[in-house]
Structure 1
Amino acid sequence: MERKRFWWMLGCLLASAILCEAQQSTRLTQRWEYLRGDLGGIWEAVRPATEGSPESVPLWQQVTLPHCFNATDAVNPDENYYEGPGWYRTLLDVKNPYNSGRTLLHFEGAGQKTTVYVYTTKVAAHTGGYDEWTADITGAVQQFLQSPDAKRFKGKVPLSIRCDNTRDLEMIPSDMSDFNVYGGLYRYVNLVYTPALSFETLHVQAVTDAAGNNGTLSVSAAFRNPGHVFRGTLELRVLDPQNKVVKEIRQDIDIQTGEQQLAGISLKKPVLWSPDQPRLYTIAARITAAGETAEWKDHTGFRHFEFVKQGPFLLNGKRLLLQGTHRHEDHAGVAAAMTEDMIRQEMLLIKNMGANFIRLGHYQQSRIVLQLCDSLGILVWEEIPWCRGGLGGDSYKDQARRMLTHMISQHRNHPAVILWGLGNENDWPGDFPEFDKEKIRGFMSELNTLAHQQDSTRKTTIRRCDFCKDIVDVYSPSIWAGWYRGRYTEYKSESLKEIARVPHFFHAEWGADSHQGRFAEDPEKFIRQVATGKGADERTGDFALTGGNARASKDGDWSESYAVNLVDWHLKEQETMPQLTGTAYWVFKDFSTPLRPENPVPYVNQKGIVARDLTPKEIYYVFQSYWTKTPMAHIYGHGWPVRWGKEGEAKEIRVYSNCTEAELFVNGKSAGMKKRNSQDFPAAGLRWQVPLQTGANQVKVVARNGKETITDEVTWQYQTDTWSAPVKLIVEEDKSFSGNNLRKVRVKAVDEKGVLCLDAASEITFSAAGDGRLIIDQGTASGSRKVQLANGQACIFLRTGSGKGSTVVAATAKGIATGMTTITY
């Protein structure tokens, strides 16, 4: 009876649940204290506080986990982000229910060097900010609880953790990388209880042929066995996607050192996993010894994939065009410390955009991301953070080997994963006096062999290191047509050249920066400066805003308008290349970087499809119009409040939709019906030339897909007044916004006649004095103390608090008269 009850409860667990290493695992999110900076030693974290004592450390602050040192300073426009040590402490209430059981701390990721103490005893240390690891604190806890010092803590166990993201040339990733190397406990920490014998890892390898006629399931495990138990009883269950048991095994096994094979299972016509139907099998295991049982539960899926020589990509025997993007672990207000809810929201946006592929750049990411890729149906390229800088010494290489081994071991069960990335931009020198291509090739070859030894079912890959392109299975060159080099109309010809150069090609990283809210009536007026026929690869210095060849990244306007054109062209061209395996747009979400202080939002790479707070930019809907099947329609320019031109001038109005036809209405009058044709650039033919009237204009589209109708509406102001140079700033509250204890403040740049200067792009600095506080350092166009104007405007939010008060908000810009206003509440 007890056995049936166990299996019934196990079957009821959510498919997205975290892997269960034991019967009890608890996230430690609350009641933490944090100290930025270092201590003189562990005693300073645990010594008794003496009132008024100068020896006490007063600067601990209450925090919840996940927590990142650099939650806001990574995008502070006035200083470098913090790189150094930080301490965390809490009190554990340890109640291990098992006789001779083990008490563990499981870290899902912590940056970048981590040391763990129980009271004053150092129990573990780990180097690497992205792989998972476990600290066994059993002995230290027992020792502390038996000591006289335990009385002071009233049965609780003091836990202290030191994290450190200090710059270190002998660590990966390099600080030359175009992303922040964050510090802190920025992923979940779990308190885990296990019996004396428990699972350390459980690996599931699901293999099927292209037709899905036969499937084999290989199950192996390594056991945590400090008590040297020699024998146990294994129970193994396999449940299909409908949660029906398809195989059950119960047998006694000898417990070996290292990984051992547990079962080989054959299945006829397994249910296949795919992006459209991400159907998962459940593997549930129990090991019992000395009357105590440890559990493990995981998921897998059967799928067969192939990169055909010089294209295309096949999944389950059929061509699948990989339509993808990239993800950095970064978010407004928290940096790397994203909660599970934040991660889920982001991954759902990616799926709802129509993506079926994602590259996790440039490091192993949270297990939550991989679980969501499995359940949502998003194929994965995951890589280690050997990124830029060159090749270091023995400790550097050891870390790379260890992180590759850990990444594969920890994520190989996920059917979504098809590619293991060994490096990124390894042709970029700078961290060491020596830059030896042959040594880099030698180490890349070693990693390639190691990856295949660890997992023979996936392919290896790298991006942008031509002198290593022959080593890995799949290679991605640098093609940035229309941004760092050339024009976007060269994208197809450049891609075809690269496809012919390697056996297996994938195009990772393409796109354009765009400053959210900035639009242009003529976004390509600079294009005549840009040379053609010179290649489309990114080269040294191309990311800079000065010097070098004429290019969109330097000479363009960074408008959403230009990004829309570039994305639209790329997506329509991708439909015309039958040999193309796929591409991934860089990047899904704006993210912080120490290398770009002069961007419109300082220290933010603004190539995102959405902003750093997940607010979609216009290109999000361009992707939807090409990639999604659910009918949609979007009038281009929802974030474009004021258009401009001459009275009676016809203006282009676009609709991005996947419907077969659409009818546009402007101020209640039909502008006609258009049929969608993906090769009719721009907007797949859904564009109209219509005069707008001075002042407000109501625009509506009715799109039809068979009998289904989709509508979208927007209101634009149309400005016909011309303007001269901006002379002053006007700051005012945006009364159209209403939020809980929030006020929206807008600044406008106007000329001497008070006309809004719609091309003004000056950098604005916001400041405030009074009872409220500005929401700043978010890394967004509406959450930065310094930000460039978008079409002569910018905004910021003021948090007022619950009581009455007032705040003066000011905006300054070089060469323009300061503006200010008083917000009363």
Structure 2
Amino acid sequence: MRSKKLILVFLLLLCLQPAFGQRRQRLITNWEFVRQDLGGVWEAVRPVGAGNPESVPLWERVTLPHCFNAQDAVDPDVNYYQGPGWYRTQLTVQNPYAGGRTLLHFEGAGQKTDVYIHTTKVGSHVGGYDEWAVDVTQAIADFQKTEAYQKQFKGQIPLSIRCDNTRDLEMIPSDLSDFNIYGGLYRYVNLQYQPAVALSQLSAKAEVDRAGKAGTLTVKAVLPETVGSGSAPYSVRLLDPRGKPVAQFKGTLATKPGELDLPKFAVKSPRLWSPDAPQLYTVQVTVGTGPEAYQQSEKVGFRHIEFVEHGPFMLNGKRLLLRGTHRHEDHAGVAAAMTEPMIRQEMVMMKRMGVNFIRLGHYQQSRIVLNLCDSLGITVWEEIPWCRGGLGGPVYQQQAKRMLRNMITQHYNHASIIIWGLGNENDWPGDFPEFDKQKIRAFMTELNDLSHQLDASRYTAIRRCDFCKDIVDVYSPSIWAGWYRGIYTEYKETSRKEFEGVKRFLHVEWGGDSHAGRHSENPDNALAKITAGQGADERSGDASLFGGSARVSKDGDWSETYLCNLVDWHLKEQETMPWLSGAAYWPFKDFSTPVRPDNPVPYMNQKGVVERDFTPKEAYYVFQSYWTPQPMAHIYGHGWPVRWGDEGELKMVKVYSNCEQAELFVNGKSYGSKQRNSQDFPAAGLHWNVPFVAGQNQVKVVARQGKQTVQDEISFRYQTQKWGKPTKLTLEKVADSNGLTTVEAKLYDAQGVQCLDAANWLEFSLAGAGQLLDNLGTSSGSRKVQAYNGRAIIRLQATPGQTSVAVQSPGLPAVVLNL
């Protein structure tokens, strides 16, 4: 175990190594921000923190990364802000290279960005998800000659940045998309110094034959327009995963703008990259000598990929069932502005769930994410944000092509990437009066050709646009068995029919919503209302909670219990589908969306297996029980404080485990051991029907895998009293921890019995000193939320004797609690 932990630490350290050269500094602190437009850049060009009381607008101090919509994306009472915002700071610039260049490197900014040095506009960019850089060398030199540089700014350089996420039909992604189009500097901004001769791009292509014996490394570089003509010595080294040199070359290159072919190396029997052993080689390129030398390192992996026509996915000549999920760039309290530690925590949680594949939806993501996928061993489908709405005009199409080119050239070296995604739900009209399928097909063909031109070694794919499914290499239809359409037992049959209709089939996006903390004794009741054989795709209006035909997404209970059954069935079936290349659950984590205001947590897509703050839901452990090798056992119901039923009634206990056998104990009594069998639904045969006693119960499982033993334990109250309609609310303090107070609201009927299936809307509020921890997009971090099993909690900062918190629900008397 200790060696595995050391390996994980080593892999994480690998991903932190800079992927591009020379000295750089993350610009994190000393920023000011205002969420509105200015009359002009001159209004931003005042010394940071000048403190003039007559200065308007008022700026706030922030750190980067920062998102306009950290709070309002999930505020139940407002539309999220879409418009301009300004950032400003002052730079101390000390380029160590004689004749070198100074750049501002943006890892992503939303969605349109203008950059100013003092009042000089030095660059602009459209597109919120690709990297880009601005050369500020000349602008800084010009400003340093002014009187303001010495007197007003005391030798510092004023930098102002305008970001804008205003709705724009001629820009991708569409505002019809089921995710927020965020604004701000929500990825890192870097100040970067480069010597006079530097590379603007370094491409390293690692290839190996199917047998894994003959490897080749092809290296190409691009010199920028700013480089002067001449020549320079250079070297290329290839280091194996242990850091040992395995190939090297020294020579002289002509320094002129454009692409250069660097040496091609043959590598005999390279160590292969795979999810189980993500072996990474290092390519080191040095141009020049001495202190003016430019150095750049890139990680590459040798692996052979193949999507077999009408068959599975092959990695290094062996079948690999792609076990995947999806990632949105979104998190509680910060929205898109996730820090590197947050991103790392999320990706490690995915790996620990057993993921070996991820689709990055629905846009290019940070190089931090890709580095982690490389080092952790997670294969990737990455796509551009051509998502919903139809097809715009020339400006729209140029942006899509530019983002595709940027995505491929910027992320070309990542061993983890196996698919370039060209679009998502492009059969969804709405942004334009014209919806022409032939024009969409023609543009999809352009993108497909461009992708293959830029990178012939990887596959192209789209999801849900049947009239384009023959254009791309790999196609994923819409299959939501047991949620938007159909019942989950139709999953295999529906998938088989779709598989037979395309050249290469991969199923991305399946699952269902669950309101964290909500559990059910009869989770599959809604399936009785649904007629089988009517298809399992998602159709217009299916995401609505009102109207239309019966469907679980509208008529189900949104419990974690139902989601676990749905996931359990899909995973057991995937083990018996030898033709399946893979599938990816949608998504890993709950995320915010402007098109779902009526969900139990307003403006949240709640299909994640973890909440927006990384709190695992029960479904997380279902995946672990099928996908992970490390022995584990998890009794369903850790967040279910009260179960209910008749006295003496047999109730099901489910244990999700990957161990070969498990023994269950209820209140100290053994109910026997069971053997795991993945095809014995539910819980792979590890389910028991047992009686509970009224009041407190203790349940324990001991699971065995060979000589290893793991165990889990839960306790809960069993309620036998029946309840009626909720007539009363209560509110009490239930915890004080780490400076936060937790309060819990409960719903009772007229006889004082807790209503354990109540799903009433509850709304918390605060008066006096303190602050509610709300607008987090979680079941315990929202001031307006549906009850889960007749209860809901929220946390707050309180001052004893000076804070009052209240809760109200339509039709019931409000309750106030003085803390």
TM-score of the alignment, normalized to the shorter chain, above 0.5: yes
Secondary structure in 2 matching 1:489: helix
Between the aligned partners of 2:390 and 2:413, the Cα distance in structure 1 is 31
Paired position in structure 2 for 1:808: 804
Paired position in structure 2 for 1:88: 87
Secondary structure in 1 matching 2:85: strand
How much has 1:289 moved relative to structure 2? 6.7
Between the aligned partners of 1:49 and 1:132, the Cα distance in structure 2 is 27
Deviations 1:290-345 (A, max 9, x none): 97211111100000011111111110000000000000000000000000000000
Q: Is the 8 A contact 2:32 2:62 kept in 1?
A: yes
Secondary structure in 2 matching 1:717: strand
Between the aligned partners of 2:203 and 2:186, the Cα distance in structure 1 is 26
Unpaired stretches in structure 1, ≥5 consecutive residues: 1-10
How much has 1:49 moved relative to structure 2? 9.3
Q: Is the 8 A contact 1:761 1:788 kept in 2?
A: yes
Between the aligned partners of 1:457 and 1:74, the Cα distance in structure 2 is 39
Paired position in structure 2 for 1:420: 420
Paired position in structure 2 for 1:567: 567
TM-score by length of 2: 0.97
Say if 2:697 is the partner of 1:701.
Answer: no
2:20 maps to amino acid: E
Q: Is the 8 A contact 1:389 1:429 kept in 2?
A: yes
How much has 1:21 moved relative to structure 2? 3.3
Between the aligned partners of 1:682 and 1:106, the Cα distance in structure 2 is 51
Secondary structure in 1 matching 2:284: strand
Paired position in structure 1 for 2:717: 717
2:645 maps to amino acid: G
Say if 2:69 is the partner of 1:73.
Answer: no
TM-score by length of 1: 0.97
Say if 2:267 is the partner of 1:267.
Answer: yes
Paired position in structure 1 for 2:750: 752
Paired position in structure 2 for 1:578: 578
Between the aligned partners of 2:51 and 2:321, the Cα distance in structure 1 is 67
Between the aligned partners of 2:447 and 2:46, the Cα distance in structure 1 is 46
Deviations 1:55-104 (A, max 9, x none): 62241000000000000100000010000000000000000001111000
Paired position in structure 2 for 1:589: 589
How much has 1:249 moved relative to structure 2? 1.2
Paired position in structure 1 for 2:24: 25
Paired position in structure 1 for 2:461: 461
Q: Is the 8 A contact 1:389 1:431 kept in 2?
A: yes
Distance 1:388 1:66, change over 3 A: same
Q: 1:817 aligns with which of 807, 813, 817?
A: 813
Between the aligned partners of 1:282 and 1:50, the Cα distance in structure 2 is 44
Secondary structure in 2 matching 1:15: helix
Matches within 5 A, 1:40-439: 40-47=39-46, 56-151=55-150, 152-288=152-288, 292-439=292-439
Paired position in structure 2 for 1:5: none
Say if 2:668 is the partner of 1:668.
Answer: yes
1:503 maps to amino acid: K
Secondary structure in 1 matching 2:573: helix
Q: Percent identity between the aligned chains?
A: 63
1:745 maps to amino acid: V
2:807 maps to amino acid: A
Q: Is the 8 A contact 1:198 1:225 kept in 2?
A: no
Secondary structure in 1 matching 2:525: coil
Secondary structure in 2 matching 1:553: helix
1:138 maps to amino acid: T
Between the aligned partners of 1:446 and 1:517, the Cα distance in structure 2 is 47
Q: Is the 8 A contact 2:569 2:681 kept in 1?
A: yes
Q: 2:774 aligns with which of 761, 771, 776?
A: 776
How much has 1:227 moved relative to structure 2? 4.2
How much has 1:754 moved relative to structure 2? 1.4
Between the aligned partners of 1:662 and 1:12, the Cα distance in structure 2 is 33
Paired position in structure 1 for 2:797: 799
How much has 1:48 moved relative to structure 2? 6.4
How much has 1:13 moved relative to structure 2? 12
Distance 1:538 1:48, change over 3 A: closer
How much has 1:654 moved relative to structure 2? 0.6
How much has 1:284 moved relative to structure 2? 1.0
Unpaired stretches in structure 2, ≥5 consecutive residues: 1-9
Q: Is the 8 A contact 2:226 2:257 kept in 1?
A: no
How much has 1:558 moved relative to structure 2? 0.4
Distance 1:12 1:193, change over 3 A: farther
Q: Is the 8 A contact 1:732 1:820 kept in 2?
A: no
Deviations 1:105-134 (A, max 9, x none): 000000000000000000000000000000
2:535 maps to amino acid: G
Deviations 1:222-259 (A, max 9, x none): 12351413211111111001110001111111123222
2:155 maps to amino acid: G
Secondary structure in 2 matching 1:734: strand
Between the aligned partners of 1:54 and 1:373, the Cα distance in structure 2 is 49
Between the aligned partners of 1:266 and 1:675, the Cα distance in structure 2 is 50
Between the aligned partners of 2:274 and 2:227, the Cα distance in structure 1 is 43
1:17 maps to amino acid: L
Secondary structure in 2 matching 1:766: strand
How much has 1:12 moved relative to structure 2? 13
How much has 1:613 moved relative to structure 2? 0.4
2:165 maps to amino acid: N
How much has 1:688 moved relative to structure 2? 0.5
Secondary structure in 1 matching 2:785: strand
How much has 1:19 moved relative to structure 2? 3.2
Choose 288-297 or 70-79, whichever is displaced more. 288-297
Secondary structure in 1 matching 2:314: strand
Between the aligned partners of 2:256 and 2:530, the Cα distance in structure 1 is 65
How much has 1:728 moved relative to structure 2? 1.2
Between the aligned partners of 1:33 and 1:592, the Cα distance in structure 2 is 26
Q: Is the 8 A contact 1:21 1:199 kept in 2?
A: no
Q: Is the 8 A contact 1:21 1:198 kept in 2?
A: no
1:807 maps to amino acid: T
Secondary structure in 2 matching 1:449: helix
2:395 maps to amino acid: S
Distance 1:106 1:821, change over 3 A: same
Q: Is the 8 A contact 1:231 1:289 kept in 2?
A: no
Paired position in structure 2 for 1:605: 605
Secondary structure in 1 matching 2:288: strand
Number of positions where the alignment pairs a residue of Structure 1 with one of Structure 2: 809
2:463 maps to amino acid: R
Q: Is the 8 A contact 2:199 2:222 kept in 1?
A: yes
Between the aligned partners of 1:420 and 1:55, the Cα distance in structure 2 is 52
How much has 1:260 moved relative to structure 2? 1.4
How much has 1:770 moved relative to structure 2? 1.5
Paired position in structure 1 for 2:3: none
Q: Is the 8 A contact 1:49 1:56 kept in 2?
A: no
Between the aligned partners of 2:46 and 2:322, the Cα distance in structure 1 is 56
Q: Is the 8 A contact 1:237 1:249 kept in 2?
A: yes
Q: Is the 8 A contact 1:21 1:194 kept in 2?
A: no
Between the aligned partners of 1:252 and 1:659, the Cα distance in structure 2 is 59
Paired position in structure 1 for 2:4: none
Distance 1:508 1:577, change over 3 A: same
Distance 1:109 1:547, change over 3 A: same
Between the aligned partners of 1:441 and 1:273, the Cα distance in structure 2 is 35
Say if 2:762 is the partner of 1:764.
Answer: yes
Secondary structure in 2 matching 1:478: coil
Secondary structure in 2 matching 1:259: strand
Between the aligned partners of 1:518 and 1:17, the Cα distance in structure 2 is 39
How much has 1:54 moved relative to structure 2? 8.1
Q: Is the 8 A contact 2:47 2:153 kept in 1?
A: no
Paired position in structure 2 for 1:6: none
Distance 1:732 1:14, change over 3 A: closer
Q: Is the 8 A contact 1:21 1:294 kept in 2?
A: no
